[in-house]
Amino acid sequence: MKPIRVGLLGIGTVGRGTWDVLQRNASEIRRRAGRPIRITMVADREVAHAKKITGGKVKVTADAMQVVCSPDVDIVVELIGGDRVARTLVMEAIRHGKHVVTANKALLAKHGNAIFSAAQKKGVMVAFEAAVAGGIPVIKALREGLSANRIEWIAGIINGTSNFILSEMRDKGLPFETVLAQAQQKGYAEADPTFDIEGIDAAHKLTIISAIAFGIPMQFEKAYTEGISKLTRKDIEYAEALGYRIKLLGITRRAKKGIELRVHPTLVPASRLIANVEGVMNAVLAKGDAVGATMYYGAGAGSQPTASAVVADLVDVTRLITADPEHRVPHLAFQPDQLSSTPILPMGEVQTSYYLRMRVVDRPGVLADITRILAAARISIGAMVQKEPAEGEAHVDIVLLTHQAIEKNVDTAIARIERLATVVGQVTRIRMEELL
């Protein structure tokens, strides 16, 4: 059979990996896909660099538009990132009847609804396994492997850079900036690393996962997003002393009134498998009503792990290319006219447990004032630790773990505690999940 012709947009970290994997495993891939898959055109701003990698075997251009319009390209692989130029190129590729494979989570989280609708009308596929958790086939697992289930919740470590930073800070006591620089050198971090450390990249991925799990449109703008930049070593140590680890989790859960969609540092019992996912590795826990809890683990970033997902999508698209568009796997798992309007819950309505740390004056009645405020807000205490004051210090840390409470009640209680004359500075709040 004639080879499938691929136009590659961007031959940076993941593009290079995609090129290498397709070359190295060409014969195996042909046996799986039923026909050869060949990159025939590459667009990259660094033309000389792209020519060097591809060794003069394919057409190289600086003009990505040439690739998306070319009659000699069947599938466009978008690996340039960002959501402006990439959106134009992907929409143009669809308009020209090309199938698209992308690793671009920001693009999909923000413009996925419009992209999938255009693709549906044109009868082309948009595949995006590489957009979430790098090499882990989590999209396929959720969309196809778990399609018998009513998904209850998903919790994931879906940003390798922040997990790498938290692991290195905890294990080696390295400062935040040193570890971030290492992640950048290794090619894990986003072009703008604030996307990693402020939870934005994780929220992009969570938006995609949530849509697939619950059959809802992408609603990135409604995701609650809090990163790791304000975490202190102190909180990491207190959490450990209480038997927990702090992880940046993306959590989406079906609740009574709607769907939770939140990214934030989270205390997880140290004995859970996910609490022991270290370094740049990613893990996604998904709980279905039939299967129970399942976990997917692997490299969430990096050249060849992400290329593994890109090439798997190329194989999928190649296999499905002749199938009737109405009967292909739907982009968001549910048929496009069956998406639900279940609302995303505002953060105030979320129900979870909390780690609260406050610095107080060490004298009688202080704790009583704090517990009175918590009781009035219907917040029950699960555990409490008061540290000895350091020599010569008048203030001590109190750490409380609460039972399940409603976020807006916790907001009220924190505001009242912070107004007490005996409490110094702000209360640190980290959410906790048992993940059972």
Point out which residues bind ligand HSE (CB under 6 A).
134, 159-161, 188-190, 196, 201, 300-301
- For the record, the structure tokens of 161 come out as 């850079």
Residue 379 CB, shortest distance to ligand HSE, in Å, is 34
Taking the complex as a whole, the smallest distance from the CB of residue 205 to ligand HSE amounts, in Å, to: 7
Q: Tokens 């251009």, residue? A: 61
Which lies closer to ligand HSE via its Cβ, residue 164 or residue 354? 164
CA gap 163, 14 in Å, rounded: 20
> Among this protein's residues, is 205 annotated catalytic?
yes
Name the residue among 432, 383, 399, 401 with its Cα closest to residue 267. 432
DSSP 434: -
Q: CA-to-CA distance for 312 and 317, rounded, in angstroms? A: 9
Specify the residue, 131 or 379, whose C-beta has the smaller distance to ligand HSE: 131
Q: Name which of 81 and 258 has its Cβ closer to ligand HSE.
A: 81
Quote the least distance from Cβ 293 to ligand HSE, whole Å. Answer: 23
Cβ-based nearer residue to ligand HSE, 196 or 260? 196
End-to-end, the C-alpha distance of the chain in Å comes to 49
The CB-of-336 to ligand HSE minimum distance in angstroms stands at 26
**DSSP characters over 305-353:** HHHHHHHHHHHHHHHHTTS-GGGSPPTTSS-GGG---PPBPPGGG-EEE
**DSSP secondary structure letters along 101-125:** EE--HHHHHHHHHHHHHHHHHHT--
The residue among 164, 156, 171, 158 whose CA lies nearest residue 187 is 164
For residues 89 and 283, which CB has a smaller minimum distance to ligand HSE in the complex? Answer: 283
Degrees, nearest 5: CA angle 188-311-23: 95
Which residues sit opposite 431 in a β-bridge? 266, 354
Strand extents, DSSP E, 121-190: 126-127, 151-157
What does the alpha-carbon distance between residue 100 and residue 64 come to, in Å, rounded to a whole number? 14
Smallest distance, Å, CB 434 to ligand HSE? 25
Q: Which of 105, 110, 205, 247 is catalytic?
A: 205
Q: Angle at Cα 75 formed by Cα 73 and Cα 76, nearest 5°?
A: 90
- Residue with smaller CB distance to ligand HSE, 40 or 161: 161
Shortest Cβ 383–ligand HSE spacing (Å): 32
Active site residues: 205
